[in-house]
Structure 1
Amino acid sequence: MMLNKFIYILIISLILVIIIGETNFGNIEITEETALLPETSGAQAVAAEEPVTFAEKLAAGDSVTIVFLGDYVTSPDSLPDGNPNHVALLEKWFESNYPDQATIVNAGMNANTVSHMKQRIGSDVLNHSPDLVVISAGLNDALGGWRIPVEEYAKNYGVMLEEITASGDTEVLIRTPNPTTSVGDNREMMPYMKASEALAAANNVHFFDFYQVMAAEIHSDAISQTALMQNSLYPNTKGQAYLFDKLKVYMATELIGK
C-alpha cells in the first residue's frame, strides 16, 4: 500500500515538472542571435568581414599581386631610353599609396598577339596567383605581321579570360591599346577594340578604353599625339607617362574606389 502511494506521488511530481517546463519554454524568445551557437555566430561574423575583391583587400591592408599582360607597350623594354614605362610608374604609385601591399609582375612581351599571350597564361600569369590581371592586346593582332582575324582574336581572348578567372579568385582589367598616328591603321584597329569591349561585358570584367580616352583628347587638341609617340605605333617616355596617368585615375576611381 505504501509502495503504491509512493509511486502515485512520483508520477504526479513528474507531470508537474513537465507542465512547468513547457510553460517556461514557451516564454523563451527564439531570436536570430540566440538560434546560433556562439561558435557558429563568431565564424559567420569573421566570414562576413573577410576581404573578397581586389579593392577590399587593398582597403583591408592585405597583400595583393597584380600581373600586367601585354605586348611591347607593356614590356619592361618598351622605352629605348631606359625610362620607366607605365607599369613601372604604377608600381611606384602603389608603393606610395599602399606601402608594402602590392606586388607588381610585368608579363609584357614584345611582338605578342593574344595567341602568344594565351600560351603564356600558366607560366607568366597564373603561376603568380594574381589578385588582378591587367591585359592589353590588339596592336599586333590588328596591325602586326600576323594580321590575326578579329574573330580569332576574340575567340583566343575569350579562352584566355576564362582560364584566368576560372578559380574565381582573380579579377581582370582589359585595357585597350593607344591609337596610332595613322588614320588607316586606326580604322583597322576599331573592330578589335569593339571586340575587347564586348568580351569585357560578356565575362563581367573591368574595362578601360584607353584608345577612346586618348583619341578624344587628340581630336579636341587637348594633347599633341606626335609629342607622345616614339613612332607611328608606340608611345615614347611622355606617352607612357600619359598612359600611366590615365590608367592610374581609372584604377583609383573606378576599380579601387568602388
Structure 2
Amino acid sequence: MMLKTLIFILAFVLIFIIIIGEKNFEKIEITEKTALLPETEEQQAEPVTFSEKLAAGDQVTIVFLGDYVTSADSLPDGNPNHVALLANWFDDKYPDQVKVVNAGMNANTVSHMKDRVASDVLNQAPDLVVISAGLNDALGNWKIPVEEYKKNYQLIVDEITISGDTEVLIRTPNPTTSIKENIKMLSYMRASRELAAEKSVHFFDFYQVMSDEVHAKEFSQSSVMQNALYPNTKGQAYLFDKFKVYFTMELIDQ
C-alpha cells in the first residue's frame, strides 16, 4: 500500500515539474541573437590563394627568383625586361595593389638560388614566387647534374611553401639557338615539369611554348635573341606577352 502511495506521489511531482517547465519556456524571449546558433551563422571566408587575394582587392607581393634572364640588368640596352613589363601590367590592371620584387641574379643556378631564398625571397613575405632556372645548370660553367638540379629545386620549393602562405610558379627558361644545347636541356625541363606535378605548384612551360612557335616558323628565333642563350629586347617582350596570357588564362580568377 505504501509503495503504491509513493509511486503516486512521485508521478504527481513529475507532472507538476513538466507543467511548470513548459510555462517558463513560454516566457523566454526568442531574440535574433539567441535564435542563431554559432554553427548556423554565416561567416565570410577570408581570401586564401594569390588569385583570391587579388580578386578581393587585397595587397599581394610577387617575387621573381631566377638567373640573368630574370635579373633587372638582363638587357644591355636598358629597356625593361619581362619582369618590369609584368609589373607595369599588374599596376595598370590592379592599381597600387601588386608589389613586384625582382630577385633575379646573373649566372645563378638553383644551387645559388637555394642559398638566398631566405634573404631575397622570404623576407619579402610573398604571396607568389615565380622561379626560373635551368639555363646555367644545364649549359653554364657549373654543369649541374640533372639529379642535383631537381634535388636543389625541390629544396627551394619546400622552403618557400612550408608555411602554407606562399604559392610557387615554376617557369621553364627559353630554348637556345643551338639544337645540340637544347637537347642537353630536355632532361632539365622534364625534371622541372615532374617537380611541379609532384609538389602541386603552378607551372608555365615557356620552353615548350617558344619551341612550338619557332618550329611552326611563326618567327625567327635569332630575331628575339641577343646571343645563343639570352633573349634581347624583343625576346623579353615576347616572354612578357606569353606570361601575361598564362597569368590571365591559368592563374588569375576572372
Matched, 1:18 2:14: no
| Secondary structure of 2:237's aligned partner | helix
Local SS of the residue matching 1:90 = helix
Matched residue, 2:128: 132
Aligned mates of 1:23, 1:165 — CA distance in 2: 59
Query: Alpha carbons of 1:179 and 1:24: their partners in 2 closer, same or farther (altered >3 Å)?
Result: farther
Which TM-score applies when normalising by structure 2? 0.88
CA distance in 1, matches of 2:140, 2:162: 30
User: For 1:195, which of 177, 191, 195 is the aligned residue?
Assistant: 191
Q: By how many angstroms is 1:18 displaced?
A: 1.8
What do you get for the CA RMSD once the two structures are aligned? 2.3
1:248 aligns with 2:249: no
1:58-87 deviation digits (Å, cap 9, x = unpaired): 000000000000000000000000000000
* 3-state SS in 1 of match to 2:107: coil
Partner of 1:28: none
Question: Match for 1:158 among 151, 154, 168?
Answer: 154
Match of 2:59 in 1: 63
The CA deviation at 1:117 is: 0.1
* Kept in 1: contact 2:64–2:104 (CA 8 A): yes
Q: Which amino acid aligns with 2:173?
A: P
Q: Deviation above 4 Å: which 4+ runs of structure 1?
A: 11-14, 22-25
Residues in 1 aligned to 2:127 and 2:200: alpha-carbon distance in whole angstroms? 15
Measure, in 2, the Cα distance between the counterparts of 1:15 and 1:194.
Answer: 79
CA distance in 2, matches of 1:45, 1:241: 44
Gaps of 5+ in 2: 1-8, 26-33
Alignment of 1:11-90 (within 5 A): 15-19=15-19, 21=21, 36-37=37-38, 42=41, 45-46=43-44, 49-90=45-86
What secondary structure, in the 3-state scheme, does the structure 2 residue paired with 1:238 have? helix
1:29-54 superposed Cα distances (whole Å, 9 cap, x missing partner): xxxx95723xx655x603xx210000
Q: CA deviation at 1:121?
A: 0.3
For 1:121 and 1:150, the matched residues in 2 are separated by: 20
AA paired with 2:18? I
Identical aligned residues as a percent: 70
Structure 2 CA distance, aligned partners of 1:24 and 1:204? Answer: 58
Runs of 5+ consecutive residues of structure 1 not aligned to the other structure: 1-8, 26-32
